[in-house]
Amino acid sequence: MPNAPHPDLPSFRLDGRVALITGGTRGLGWEIARTFAAAGAAVIVSSRHEEACLEAAQALRDAGADATGIACHVGHWGEVDQLAAQAEAWRGHVDVLVNNAGMSPLYQNLSEISEELWDKVIGVNLKGPFRLSTLIGEAMRARGSGSIINVSSTGAVRPTHDIVPYAAAKAGLNAMTAGLAEALGPQVRVNCIMPGPFLTDISSHWDHEAFAATSKTFPLRRGGQPQEITGAALYLASDSSSFTTGATISVDGGAQWSQANTGDASHPAGT
């Protein structure tokens, strides 16, 4: 009977699971946090600013979710260790980790990039996700299951002159995704979302006239709305992606295939 309903339709629900989202108080991270909460997850939102974490967690609780906030600068190894320990202790386990925090400071010329700026960009975008993934990932593996989602950028594959340190870090994050998938499997799945230009709070700093012209070269002819990242994140967090690991999924409106130079419009919204 070819038209009969499928008996094993995969579920996108996250009931009983705990999700930790870095850069979770604004932009794409906040949209992911809201979606995971709506799907039944208990949510830990983290960013550098404690007040923002507490406000975001309260907003989720006001909407009926189980949520808490933990401040952490993911570029600092010691703070990442503390975040992992506190997150594990909150409800006794972390089932989903989203490494969303990111940064890409502006600069005029490549030669003006200081060692401090370089180290900061690598620290937040690559070093922190590595340390947090290994700590949380090994705990997941010991329990027998888990999902790690790294948030990269199309800048990793279409780097431009104004995001060189950031693009290098995100390319490393893409490579790390594949390596951790092999290292933590088969119990833990590790995947990556590669966003293109999204119209989050960070886009307020763009040259909107230039972006309007550039976006006309994208297959979808526009930038993304923040909520348009959530379907990919929910898929990778849930059992619906049970045979997906080591994957990098582009959510960019086709921007990476555009012939135009997107510049810093390709930045995702992290913290």
Which of these, 121, 122, 180, 120, lies nearest to 150 by C-alpha position? Answer: 180
| One-letter identity of residue 65 | A
The CATH number of residue 105's host domain is: 3.40.50.720
Give the C-alpha separation, 78 to 163, whole Å. 27
User: Residue 162: inside a domain, yes or no?
Assistant: yes
Beta bridge partners of 69: 45
Instruction: State yes or no: pLDDT of 124 exceeds 60.
Output: yes
Q: What is the pTM of this model?
A: 0.90
Give the residue numbers marked as catalytic: 166
Residues 6+ apart with CB under 8 A from 107: 113, 117, 162
Q: What is the number of domains present in the chain?
A: 1
Helix (H, G, I), strand (E, B) or coil at 90: helix
User: Residue 9: inside a domain, yes or no?
Assistant: no
Q: What tens digit of pLDDT does each residue of 139-164 get?
A: 999 999 999 999 999 999 999 899 99
Cβ(184)–Cβ(225) below 8 Å: no
Label each residue of 164-187 as H, E or C: HHHHHHHHHHHHHHHHHHHHHCCC
User: Residue 133: inside a domain, yes or no?
Assistant: yes
User: Residue 10: inside a domain, yes or no?
Assistant: no
Under the banding of pLDDT at 50, 70 and 90, the label for residue 226 is: confident
- Helix and strand numbers, DSSP H then E, in the chain: 8, 7
Instruction: State yes or no: pLDDT of 125 exceeds 50.
Output: yes
Which of these, 103, 117, 122, 110, lies nearest to 169 by C-alpha position? Answer: 122
User: Residue 6: inside a domain, yes or no?
Assistant: no
**Mean pLDDT across 172-199:** 94
User: Residue 4: inside a domain, yes or no?
Assistant: no
Give the C-alpha separation, 155 to 168, whole Å. 9
Task: Tell me the Ramachandran region of residue 146: left when phi exceeds 0, alpha when psi lies from -120 to 50, beta otherwise.
Answer: left
Q: What tens digit of pLDDT does each residue of 127-140 get?
A: 999 999 999 999 99
Q: What is the DSSP letter of 223?
A: P
Write down the pLDDT at residue 255: 74
Under the banding of pLDDT at 50, 70 and 90, the label for residue 201 is: low
**Mean pLDDT across 232-236:** 97
The domain of 228 spans 18-265
* Residue with the two structure tokens 């690598």: 122
Helix (H, G, I), strand (E, B) or coil at 145: coil
